[in-house]
Structure 1
Amino acid sequence: MKRYKLLLMALLVAFAAQAQTKKPDTQVKTNTTAVSNAKKKDSVKTLTPYEKIFKNKAVKTEKGMVTMHKIDGKVYFEFPNTLLNKPMLMSSVVETVSNPGDSYAGFQARAPLNIYFTALDSTIYIKTGTYNYSYDLNDEGIKRALAKNASDPVIAAFKVIAGSPDGKAVVFEPTSFFVNGHRSTDPFKPVSGLYGRSSSFKSDKSLLNDIEAFSDNITISSLLSYAVTSSFFGFTSEEGRAATIAVKRTLMLLPEKPMQPRLNDPRIGVAFTKFNQLSGLDNGMKEVYYANRWNLYPKGTAVIKQGTLVEPAKQIIFYIDNQFPATWIPFIKKGVERWNDAFEKIGYKNVLVTKLYPNNDPAFDPNNIKYNCIKYVPSNNQDLLASNWVDPRSGEILSASILVSQGIADKITQDLFLHTSAADKRMRTANISVSAMGDALTYMIMQKTGQNLGLLKNYGGSASIPVDSLRSGTYTRQYGITNSVMDDAVYNIVAQPGDVEKGVVMTQTKLGRYDNYAIDWLYRPISGASTPQQEKIVLSRLITEKIVDPTYRYIKISTNGIANPQGLADDLGDDKVKSLRYAYQNLQYVMEHMNSWVAEDDVDYTFRSTNNFAIINIKFYWYFTQLLANIGGMYQHEHFEGDPMKAYAAVPRDIQRNTLLYTLNVLENLSWFNNEEMVQNMDAINGNASDYMRRILFPHMLRWVTFVGYAESKDPAQSYTQEECVKDIFDYVWKDAVDGKVTSPEKLSMQQALVQTLISSSTVNDIPGDSRKGSGSFTDDEITFYSMMASRSQNKKMVGAEKVAAYGTDARILYQPNDISHIWYGWLVENQIILEKLVKNYQGAEKANYEYMLLQINRALKANKV
């Protein structure tokens, strides 16, 4: 009997061990109490380290790629040994936020971390992967050198607590990795301009929230608390404000085998992943750029051939938030799926698919990085953000998202009114219909989808289109208003009253010719090419064939230094002066008629006040900066041997001069700013708007003479010179007075500003006690204005002159301004002579003004002689 009892006990123990070592199914979710005091246990049994973790604890267990246990606010990983040293992405997506100014639900503020888990002795280390070196994997010398000089840094470490019962996994507790205030996973949206923000993580107010596991990824949710301090214009606006943000971290394996990369080319606008390529043969290192792209290839055994369309092996599915207003969804779907037109031209069909968020799929989570989502943000912020995440080893796009704020409707409504109501009668209302807004929303989604396909903004999309063609119904219906939706050219700012009736298109709703070309280059299957270098031969030839036509050229935006007038946002056409003359006419037309158009819909003047401010302080100013880009501007292109255009060339002399004269005319004729019929009923008692803007922008334009010097230095025989530029300004300002005509108040204010600039720029006033020192001085009004507009600084230090850099977004031509004080001085003396004559010929207020200007010049010149 004793023998039978022993045998029975042995069988029970074996059965229990087998139950514990059974392989867990994926995506099985349990919520149990692992060990209960109510259960009787053998008092003599010794608990294993694994069993001690669960003893008398309430446990939530999630089984999947990694088995996780949530116990007492901590998370324990049963991490399979097979996943050690496997590259992963860890994303951090906001789920909820206590203050909409801090972040958005669905927003990922930082790029995912490239990490992997590794074991040494009894410790698990989390390291960030270093993938920015490319080399022959068989070169052991380079491999050893990189191991010493570019080793992967450790960002977290955890002691192994136990092994899993089956011996196939290690158990550790990484809670602090997911509940922390580390900057690399910061959930706050960035701030810029005049705003500042700092945050202090509060660990005692932060906690682990939830866990989920699936077959190919796991998620850990945390509630993170901070004390937030904000500032505006350097002044603290709030200090120590409590903020709590729920963040979902997703761990996802990178593909087992990296996609074959495609080498990028700077002459086309494609996002890239940068590598340093090492070679043991020549001991050199050069930068290599992989194009960011989805891993697109035909389904099954299908091949792409002329005249047939095949589906990809894996479609790019975008899930659309079902919280969007129902009327928006058709336009969002259209904006995404419109790109299928470009893919069909290279042999693919149904590449992009849209679906609403599923209601009956427990595995779906829009905050899980594995799903491509278009998310609705119930915020009045006017944001539309696109982001995508790539395999750092190859440039393969793995996931993408678009965030659309409710406030985008307000922006579209205002822009349609300001940009298109002059030509489109449907837009002459404060309550523009959703159907009328639809084309603009479609364009914006098209552009963000293009970014998520790997394309960069192409700010030269419309630069080759004749301005007159933008007023042609035949042309715009066939080609739209820009050659690329990656250009920031949403609205036809050129169209005039009556053009819509002729069939002129007001908003781009189709892909441009450049867009089709860019998708072809990025996703064309190259048969017979088994290496990136073999692909490059074919792809480089494609660019060389197309680049002779400016329709297919890529132009980056200019943000610093010498501006490229072809690389600006919100511009249209090949002639800045002609297109902006139309644009200014439209703004003036809207200003003159706004009061009668919207009176019934805007009883409290909110709509009119907002748009009155926008016309004067935003739209007018932005067009003004586009005109200035022509003066001293440089056309810039990426240039390879044999390409038809130069790396850079100065804007031709006649274009610069005509732009200057037109800009002066614009500044003189700003009386349309003062719509007294409307302004008198607003809370806008701010003085004379036209005089204020002229007083600010005319001196700003005078300083622009500095930039003419670079073009002059590159081509002195053909380019507009600084001396000619100053003379043209001088003649424009003083011609009426010299001819004996009555001086208008507008010209008088320009004369006063010119005298001040001549004195300061010729440096004759650099004497003790003078309030303005040199040409870099700013008045209080100017400082306020430039701060509000966040305008480009004219005092940025610039040295040397370099070829256009292959990759980047800033203007790459750098220039050390030459000293032209002697030119300003010569015209100051000329101004003295003119004023001496004018004070004899004028009477009353004009005479007094000229006497005072002459006094200023005389004092400056006299003081300079002392």
Structure 2
Amino acid sequence: MKHWIAKLAICTILLYNFFCNNSWAIANQLSGKSPQAINSIPGVENLAATSDFGENKQVETQQFQPIVKGIIKQAGLFTTYQEVESGKVYLAIKPEQLNKSYLATITLESGIGESGIYSGLPLADFLFYLRRVKDNLHFVVQNVKFRIKSGEAEQRSLTRSFSDSVLYSVAIDSIEPSTNSLVIDLEELLMQDFSGLAPLLKYYLQAEYHFDKTKSYFGDVQSFLKNVEIDSIYGFSSPEGANLITLPDSRALSLKVHYSFSQLPENNGYIPRIADDRVGYFITAFQDFSPDNIQEPFVRYINRWHLETSDPNAPLSPPKKPIVFWIENAVPPIYRDAIREGVLMWNQAFEKAGFKNAIEVRQMPDDAKWHPADVRYNTIRWFNSLDAGFARGPMRVNPLTGEILDADIIVDANMVRSVQQEYHALIEASSMCQGEGRKQEAGGRRQEGSYDKTNLLPYTPKPLPPYTHLQAISSSEICYGTESTEQVAMGALALSLLQNTKPNSETMKEYVHQYLRSVIAHEVGHTLGLRHNFHGSTMLAPQELNNPEITQTKGLAGSVMDYLPVNIAPQGVPQGEYFPSVVGPYDEWAIAYGYKKLPDAEGEIVTPEAEKSFLEAIALASPQPELSYATDEDIRDINPLANVWDMSSDVLVYSQWQMDNARMMWQRLDEGYLPKGESYSSLRVLFNRVLRYYFRNASLLSQYIGGQSFRRLHVGDDSSWAFVPVSLTQQRQALAKLQEYVFAEDAFSFSPQLLNQLAPSRWQHWGSPILHTRLDYPIHDRILSFQSAILRSLLDSDRINRLRDVELKTSPGQALSLPELFDTLRTGIWTEIFTPEQPKSISSIRRSLQQEHLNILLEMLLQTNDELEDSRTLAWYELRQLQTAIDNKLKEFGEKLDIYTIAHLQFAGDRISKALNSQLLSQSY
């Protein structure tokens, strides 16, 4: 009944003048068109005669007055009508708006605070158009992947070769006579799972959640001249619920989704700019079928803002329209200055491109009437979660040109909370983000103490299933993640243990300020179009990292688009900046490529092609070391300098410094760091944090083995090779450091007092479960899990194949050979049996490591992969060497060794004999 009354009310407003006299003459006077003229509009038919009211019905205006007063009409890009009592919303589309491209941006405005469903996440952005088909209006997502120049004959075939996506067909309720606008019930379009949240919830929460229309409704609806903003609150239900902590009852949840439908800029003078793989920009790519584009079928534009200088003749001038970021009023006031500074850091780079004050920062008023997700505002937003711990800087782009139209940075409060309060309270929360003491769950948490090699890589959420247009969550724009939270908490711990800094001191406040400023600068860089640059951290030598005269002018890193660890000074060196305070040389160069204006050529029309030589001149500087660039797809173990959470041009030195710092922190923990009354469970958390930091730095050393630097060079650049193998000297140094800090007998030495104080948390409630695992600290398992991960990475098939290839890429004797790698590891890990001077017992930690090394060699020997024949034969050789050494050791010193060592060596020798014999038997057949 309410649905019918709402329709009647809207139709009363729209068609009153048309129907009250039952005369086409009056309608013609109001609209200026005859019925024939209305019907002649392509794709538009006159539905008045077939409406629910009927052509001959007389409508008494006064009987609808109470309902008409309850209608809110908003004229704008699309006129909206909202019935106050029922909440129903109608949308009016003018005939000239049919078959025209518009931009849709969809934002998840409220979340559940865990497992990937977070407030402020962008869900999708795409082009769409509305198409009239008989009595229905089709909502069509436009295919922008394939194009051809206008006028080409092949354009006829292109239109039928690839399909757009008709998402919905909505019945046309009526036609507004004065404008001939088509009126649809917005509920038919948006009051369903338009945003694709049901499959998203299933994927992330591992449960079936179904859209519940009875629990769903429209919130705020605003129509402006160039955009329409709509809030939809969606209810979802699941009969069984999910394994969620934050919901009071996981069988039901509500999510708010914000829709922005906006007009694309037209004829605004924006010129798409051609991308270059030497400069890291996000790109808009399409396949061009034009005859003159055969050699390279794809056209790639960088994503950038439309910035124009107010004075084209001046070397430096303000832009006609600056990029304005608004700090959301939900951001705690204590952090707003750091956020403001992080945004404005980029004006330094824009000055090199000719723009003065290209970026502005404003504060969103507490009584603001606009919404942060409004496409007209670029915002920096704050959200809370149980397990997120990340920041993200996505932008909305015109997919036809690459012009950035909107950007909204989101920051999780967990990123700064771990150092803002007392350590023990927040470290426990941070540990939950890291998976400390938690079972493996759908949200991505890991078992306490486990070593996950992927946590050395940039945080990447689980990719979405291949459905609909929702792809934004899996993009590389997501940043930092819980590893950043771990890094900043580790830095705060280092300040406390190494420099005796108190949690609420001015030093700690400055530390948090620097961290948040750098996070915002990184995310703003994304919103300016820039991708990650994981080569940026290598600009300075280790000895320069704590020199403020260098870091505050040139920069702490070549680019703030890297994932930079806390800069912790080594012992005996005064502490410098913890995080960058200025953008780096690469950042300035990249902004110049994207935004510097082509000098006007008199009489020439500026096109993307006309800028090629101008841009090439900028890109030619790429071989300069401080402009080195490596992004997400470049950091898979091959290049030791293209990495995350590393620092300086000599990672061998930097990592040793940090492992030495970690050893000093363990010593301080052993000396009674915790105050009186503190729970020993806090000590366990701190010990684990330092252990992870120690092995994370050790893993950086392992990437030198078989490593090669890679540069995105073009022919003619001032450099000879795209790949340069790591020198033999550096690889040997890396192996020596790994032996000293990871595999050596004295690499780990903890007092019984410290190990007996590593108690687990005994709180058991939501968010803090007690696991059914060992109550005491599993020191052997913990150390072995880390040692094993590094050892197996050194001997995995990818690295072995790379080492074999590098031998062909270098001069004889200049590459680390496989026999040298195998021999170095064998003699270092089994030192006790290769030192014949005296009998030496083997410690329990070393016995575990040796058994793991033996396991790896036996696996290689018994493998059936013909491609790795070299590793099999070398494993056979190493096992023979081990067998001989074990036999000699037992024969010479057997009676002088402890039972642990004798049993360990006899068992290892027996395993080797059986494996070698099985190989001989298999080969005889």
Return the TM-score normalized by structure 2. Answer: 0.77
Match of 1:666 in 2: 741
Amino acid at match of 2:613: I
Q: Secondary structure at the match of 2:389?
A: coil
- The alpha carbon displacement at 1:601 in A equals 8.4
The question of 1:133 aligning with 2:146 is answered yes
Match of 2:695 in 1: 621
Measured against aligned partners, the alpha-carbon deviations of 1:169-199 in whole angstroms (never above 9, x if no partner) come to 111223232122245567968988xx85654
Match of 2:100 in 1: 86
When residues 855 and 285 of structure 1 are mapped into structure 2, their CA distance, relative to the original with a 3 A threshold, is closer
Contact 1:558 1:564 in 2 (8 A): no
Match of 1:522 in 2: 594
Contact 1:674 1:690 in 2 (8 A): no
The question of 1:497 aligning with 2:511 is answered no
Spell out the pairing of 1:570-589 with structure 2 (5 A cutoff).
570-589=645-664
Match of 1:338 in 2: 345
When residues 654 and 712 of structure 1 are mapped into structure 2, their CA distance, relative to the original with a 3 A threshold, is farther
Contiguous gaps of at least 5 residues in structure 1: 1-9, 23-40, 764-773, 777-798, 800-815
CA distance in 1, matches of 2:292, 2:588: 40
Q: Secondary structure at the match of 1:739?
A: coil
- The alpha carbon displacement at 1:231 in A equals 7.5
- The alpha carbon displacement at 1:353 in A equals 1.0
Contact 2:104 2:127 in 1 (8 A): yes
CA distance in 2, matches of 1:322, 1:596: 45
Q: Secondary structure at the match of 1:114?
A: strand
CA distance in 2, matches of 1:468, 1:387: 36
Amino acid at match of 1:207: Y
The question of 1:428 aligning with 2:504 is answered no
Measured against aligned partners, the alpha-carbon deviations of 1:153-183 in whole angstroms (never above 9, x if no partner) come to 2111222222113033111223232122245
CA distance in 1, matches of 2:902, 2:56: 113
Contact 1:412 1:440 in 2 (8 A): no
When residues 559 and 547 of structure 1 are mapped into structure 2, their CA distance, relative to the original with a 3 A threshold, is closer
When residues 186 and 348 of structure 1 are mapped into structure 2, their CA distance, relative to the original with a 3 A threshold, is farther
Amino acid at match of 1:129: Q
Match of 1:827 in 2: 878
The question of 1:632 aligning with 2:706 is answered yes
Contact 1:338 1:446 in 2 (8 A): yes
Q: Secondary structure at the match of 1:581?
A: helix
The question of 1:216 aligning with 2:226 is answered yes
Amino-acid identity (%): 20
Measured against aligned partners, the alpha-carbon deviations of 1:513-544 in whole angstroms (never above 9, x if no partner) come to 11111111110001236111121211112121
Amino acid at match of 1:339: W
Q: Secondary structure at the match of 2:271?
A: coil
Spell out the pairing of 1:410-559 with structure 2 (5 A cutoff).
410-411=417-418, 415-416=487-488, 418-419=490-491, 422=494, 428-431=501-504, 433-493=508-568, 495-500=569-574, 504-528=576-600, 530-544=606-620, 546-557=621-632
Match of 1:374 in 2: 380
Match of 2:189 in 1: 177
Q: Secondary structure at the match of 2:355?
A: coil
CA distance in 2, matches of 1:89, 1:673: 61
CA distance in 2, matches of 1:519, 1:45: 65
CA distance in 2, matches of 1:276, 1:145: 15
CA distance in 2, matches of 1:227, 1:285: 49
When residues 191 and 267 of structure 1 are mapped into structure 2, their CA distance, relative to the original with a 3 A threshold, is farther
CA distance in 1, matches of 2:677, 2:113: 30
Q: How many residues align?
A: 773
Amino acid at match of 1:738: F
Contact 2:109 2:120 in 1 (8 A): yes
Spell out the pairing of 1:588-667 with structure 2 (5 A cutoff).
588-594=663-669, 598-600=673-675, 603-605=678-680, 607-616=682-691, 618-643=692-717, 644-667=719-742
Per mean C-alpha deviation after superposition, the further-off stretch among 474-483 and 284-293 is 474-483
Q: Secondary structure at the match of 2:297?
A: strand
Amino acid at match of 1:731: T
Match of 2:171 in 1: 159
Spell out the pairing of 1:35-50 with structure 2 (5 A cutoff).
46-47=58-59
Contact 1:275 1:288 in 2 (8 A): yes
Q: Secondary structure at the match of 1:64?
A: coil
Match of 1:275 in 2: 286
The question of 1:305 aligning with 2:377 is answered no
Match of 1:124 in 2: 137
Contact 1:92 1:187 in 2 (8 A): no
Return the TM-score normalized by structure 1. Answer: 0.81
- The alpha carbon displacement at 1:582 in A equals 0.5
Q: Secondary structure at the match of 1:762?
A: helix
CA distance in 2, matches of 1:775, 1:594: 48
Per mean C-alpha deviation after superposition, the further-off stretch among 701-710 and 524-533 is 701-710
- The alpha carbon displacement at 1:314 in A equals 1.3
The question of 1:68 aligning with 2:167 is answered no
Q: Which residue, out of 355, 358, 363, partners 1:356?
A: 363
CA distance in 1, matches of 2:290, 2:24: 58
Contact 1:459 1:567 in 2 (8 A): yes
Contact 1:97 1:104 in 2 (8 A): yes
CA distance in 1, matches of 2:861, 2:56: 98
Match of 1:31 in 2: none
When residues 507 and 514 of structure 1 are mapped into structure 2, their CA distance, relative to the original with a 3 A threshold, is same
CA distance in 2, matches of 1:13, 1:230: 58
Match of 2:12 in 1: none
CA distance in 1, matches of 2:492, 2:339: 22
The question of 1:407 aligning with 2:414 is answered yes
- The alpha carbon displacement at 1:584 in A equals 0.6
Match of 2:438 in 1: none
Q: Which residue, out of 69, 77, 91, partners 2:91?
A: 77
Amino acid at match of 2:642: G
Measured against aligned partners, the alpha-carbon deviations of 1:724-775 in whole angstroms (never above 9, x if no partner) come to 2101111223344232342441443333333332222211xxxxxxxxxx49
- The alpha carbon displacement at 1:553 in A equals 1.6
- The alpha carbon displacement at 1:47 in A equals 4.5
Contact 1:461 1:486 in 2 (8 A): yes
Match of 2:11 in 1: none
Amino acid at match of 2:382: Y
Measured against aligned partners, the alpha-carbon deviations of 1:454-507 in whole angstroms (never above 9, x if no partner) come to 1111000022432222244543343332111111114214x2133226xx3232
Spell out the pairing of 1:656-735 with structure 2 (5 A cutoff).
656-669=731-744, 672=748, 674=750, 676-684=752-760, 685-689=775-779, 692-694=782-784, 697-698=787-788, 700-702=790-792, 704-705=794-795, 706=797, 707-716=799-808, 717=812, 718-735=814-831
CA distance in 2, matches of 1:66, 1:571: 51
CA distance in 1, matches of 2:206, 2:642: 29
Amino acid at match of 1:756: N
Match of 1:810 in 2: none
Q: Secondary structure at the match of 1:404?
A: strand
Match of 1:293 in 2: 304
Q: Secondary structure at the match of 1:698?
A: helix
CA distance in 2, matches of 1:55, 1:513: 64
Contiguous gaps of at least 5 residues in structure 2: 1-19, 33-52, 421-485, 761-774
CA distance in 2, matches of 1:434, 1:325: 14
When residues 500 and 689 of structure 1 are mapped into structure 2, their CA distance, relative to the original with a 3 A threshold, is same
Match of 1:256 in 2: 266
CA distance in 1, matches of 2:588, 2:518: 15
Amino acid at match of 2:333: A
CA RMSD of aligned residues (A): 3.7
